[in-house]
Amino acid sequence: MTELDARPRAGATLRFPERFRWGTATAAYQIEGAADEDGRTPSIWDTFSRTPGRVRNGDTGDIAADHYHRVGEDIALMRRLGVTDYRFSIAWPRVQPTGRGPAVQKGLDFYRRLTDELRAAGIRPVATLYHWDLPQELEDAGGWPHRETAYRFAEYAGLAAEGLGDRVATWTTLNEPWCSAFLGYGSGVHAPGRTSAVDSLRAAHHLNLAHGLAVRAVRAAVPARAEVSLTLNLHAVRSRTDAPEDRDAARRIDAVGNRIFLDPVFHGRLPEDLVDDTAPVTDWSFVEDGDLRAAAEPIDALGINYYSPTAVAAGASPSSPSRSLSPSPWAGAERHVRFVPVPGPRTAMDWPVDSGGLHELLLRLRDDLPHVPLVITENGAAYEDYADPSGEVKDPERVAYLHAHLAAVHRAIEDGADVRGYFLWSLLDNFEWAYGYSKRFGIVHVDFPTQRRTFKSSAHWYADVIARGGLPTRP
């Protein structure tokens, strides 16, 4: 009997499978700090955040949650939570600072220490190779719209896998390539801040190619028992009405938001309607023979990041569901789609709270990819958290959000979706990209001036869920 099997389950009304993975997640640039230590060089997010006007309040990830110096303290927090798995990302510019050449041993040593201490604590290390921190030198050479970046990523993936050996239980190639391509090179609200529709589509293709090449590199370097996966932020797209023009708007967003990655990775093809939709932007001549076969290298699981659904109607000049973006990140859809509000409560990010979208998405994947195991690799919410005079951080809205979404996962499992685990975003309050430190997603409160960590009420609640192996009657 494993430690997880032995945990008490009394009082749980929604029990999850016995070997369900309970985790939490972070990303390197958002928590590590130590931006110029031990050979690390700037990533595109270092450059972007240090550019005036790019990040709220001029915040940067130079210190963040100082995880680089507080690994032991943060693993102790995970032990208190009782998580079985921890999803983190490896900083490319910490391991291979210029994106070329040999690995920096001090960089690898940090991740060796992290993974060794996780394993000693009985926690499975789940490593993401790319969570948006492209070495700046590679961006200067063309970035993701440049084909060579895909080959550089595969080389780095092999170096990381060789350096960490069998310490890592699951290797994830990319996190949310849609954001990398379309927010980084389309709308420009994420690093590197470029605004070109054709570059965003080129970047998406080269990210798919990079994924497939990295899968091969990792499998060549690590034991066969190591899992290899990909994480996508798939959009749960709803049309405002059943009218043909609204349904076509949803189709367009599904093509450039979802199938632009799903079809190459799982079927070795580009969606024909996407090619037609984007014909005014590009002829896709940057897709070379063999690219789509390479992108479709088999993987062991698909990670799903979900926060809220998306609703659309026929119209023009789409904006983000949360804020206006100009230019649009939706290449090929700008003149045909508009976003409409999703009713209900909203988080501090102004994102709608709707767990039904997660259930819908999981059932779609059950039907479209019946043989691919699924893992929820990110799910969570930002709220206006603060420590009260007694030092407690109470976040009942987050608890309600998490309860509803875990219930949706449970319902999807009962409906036949092969969901193997759930990673709550996030372990710690952190640098929230263009929002800086103004938004808090963590279940552990971080007082950034002192770096003091405090369990929020959601952390105590999640620890209880893990101990039960399921959800209590009420949040």
User: Token pair of 280, please?
Assistant: 């005014």
Active site members = 176, 378
Query: DSSP letters of 277-290?
Result: HTTTT---TT--TT
How far from chain centre, in Å, is Cα 402? Answer: 17
User: Token pair of 65, please?
Assistant: 């949650």
User: Token pair of 92, please?
Assistant: 């490319």
Cα–Cα distance for residue pair 212/72, rounded to 1 Å: 34
Cα–Cα distance for residue pair 369/30, rounded to 1 Å: 32
Cα–Cα distance for residue pair 91/34, rounded to 1 Å: 11
CB 228 within 8 A of CB 194: no
User: Token pair of 139, please?
Assistant: 């961006």
237 bridge partner residues: 310
CB 23 within 8 A of CB 424: yes
CB 461 within 8 A of CB 401: no
Q: Cis omega (within 30 of 0) on the bond before 389?
A: no
CB 311 within 8 A of CB 340: yes
